Amino acid sequence: MSANDPKRSLFASAVGPLPECYFELVRWLSSEPWGPAMRRREFITLIGGAAATSALSGGAVAQAVPSTFRIGIVSPAASKSTLLFDTFRARLKELGYVEDRDIVIEFRLAAGAPEKVPALAADLVRQPVDVLVADGAHVIGVLQGLTKTIPTVGIIGVDPVAAGFVSSLARPGGNFTGVATFAIELHVKRLALLKEAIPGVVRVAVLLDRSQDLQGLVFESMEQSAPKLGLRLERLEEPRRAEDLAGVLRREVLTKFDGLVIGSGPLFWNNRTRIVALAAESGRPAIYPERDYADAGGLMCYGPNIPAVFRRLAELVDHILKGGRPAEIPIEQVSRLDFVINLRTARTLGITISPALLARTDEVIE
């Protein structure tokens, strides 16, 4: 069959281009008699070479693995240049993936506006992508409503079983798996640490992001635990936009309280420097959900190391791209919690932290 043979062209159009060794095989068989004298060893060698060449070249006999995977990230964050995403990408690089060669990462960022998430997520699902990465319970809920087939990994603050996202922690059973931080327990612990650091605290203001507590269980649990600690709680009005923070955390509001607990959430994290400054203006001690707040001047933080979580999410993405199924990958509980105290801020507020409490921290900012 020559290169210009119509049969060859028709065959190629039907099944795709074949390596030249296939046509060498056809020519050889046409010239050799069949029977006992046939050169069996040469025949086997030629067949094997044709199959191997086809598999390596992505020909018709073997289906090629996609050369580039598409990873979609949906997040309430304002920028893709953050420590969280940098850590995620760095871990993928460590695992052997080169961006724009092996993987393409598509970001859809809501910039602290949860109402934008549905449209952003829907746009990403239509692309389509090979794996979705969901930042937070609200994003996970939206994605679960859009697709039950695209593998999804994410970080979730609530109990994923109670929220209806998975059948069980050990065997999720659907298209989602990830890392759970179990925010209820963390918020109760923050109350206890605030009381231990400043024993005179009684009235405590609590600022929570409702998108991170869809069923209202976090504040309910905090209220149940407060009397045992000698605390009385009041939930502050929830800001909808960054512009609302100054009014919610204004001095005349916070000075009614002895202390402040800030919950986790994209609006808060995106504006953490402003929140820390507003708390400082009131002269009231506060405990925060992540170490970024302590780095920004907040008194104390207790919570998951979020960059470490995103590092783990990159490993789960790698597992899925290599054939793993989210339905069979257990939900993990966050394994690293940061407890940081900023002594500079404590001195500014006139607070003396006990040596016993300082000894239990992961880090003290002098």
Q: Are 152 and 46 members of one domain?
A: no
- In terms of pLDDT, which residue wins out, 26 or 180? 180
Q: Are 316 and 347 members of one domain?
A: no
Average pLDDT over residues 152-175: 91
Q: Are 211 and 353 members of one domain?
A: yes
Q: Are 254 and 344 members of one domain?
A: yes
| pLDDT above 70: residue 230 | yes
Nearest of 146, 94, 97, 93 to residue 119 by alpha carbon: 146
The single-letter code of the amino acid at 338 is D
Q: Are 217 and 351 members of one domain?
A: yes
Give the model's confidence band at 8: pLDDT under 50 very low, under 70 low, under 90 confident, else very high.
very low
CA dist., res. 157 & res. 1, Å (int) = 64
Residue 63 lies in a domain: no
Q: Name the least confident of 40-49, 104-113, 138-147, 169-178.
A: 40-49
Q: Are 329 and 236 members of one domain?
A: no
H helices of 205-305, where? 217-225, 245-248, 251-254, 266-270, 272-282, 291-295
Give the model's confidence band at 74: pLDDT under 50 very low, under 70 low, under 90 confident, else very high.
very high
Residue 361 lies in a domain: yes
Q: Are 167 and 254 members of one domain?
A: no
Give the model's confidence band at 66: pLDDT under 50 very low, under 70 low, under 90 confident, else very high.
low
Give the model's confidence band at 303: pLDDT under 50 very low, under 70 low, under 90 confident, else very high.
very high
Strand locations in 110-189 (E): 131-135, 152-156, 176-180
The percentage of residues in the chain with a pLDDT greater than 90, rounded to a whole number, is: 63
Q: Are 234 and 285 members of one domain?
A: yes
Give the CATH number, domain containing residue 322: 3.40.50.2300
Residue 238 lies in a domain: yes
Q: Are 170 and 131 members of one domain?
A: yes
Average pLDDT over residues 181-186: 86
Residue 121 lies in a domain: yes
The percentage of residues in the chain with a pLDDT greater than 70, rounded to a whole number, is: 81
Residue 191 lies in a domain: yes
Q: How many domains does the chain have?
A: 3
Opening angle at CA 89, ends 120 and 295, nearest 5 = 90
What's the chain's average pLDDT?
Answer: 84
Distances from the Cα of 168 to the Cαs of 159, 212, 292, in angstroms?
A: 10, 20, 32
Q: Are 203 and 344 members of one domain?
A: yes
Q: Residue 214: what pLDDT?
A: 62
| pLDDT above 50: residue 100 | yes
Q: Are 128 and 143 members of one domain?
A: yes
- Domain hosting 122: range is 69-182+307-333
Q: Are 97 and 239 members of one domain?
A: no
Residue 1 lies in a domain: no
Task: Judge residue 79's burial from the number of C-beta atoms within 10 Å of its C-beta, 0-12 exposed, 13-18 middle, 19 or more buried.
Answer: exposed
Residue 245 lies in a domain: yes
Model pTM score: 0.76
Residue 62 lies in a domain: no
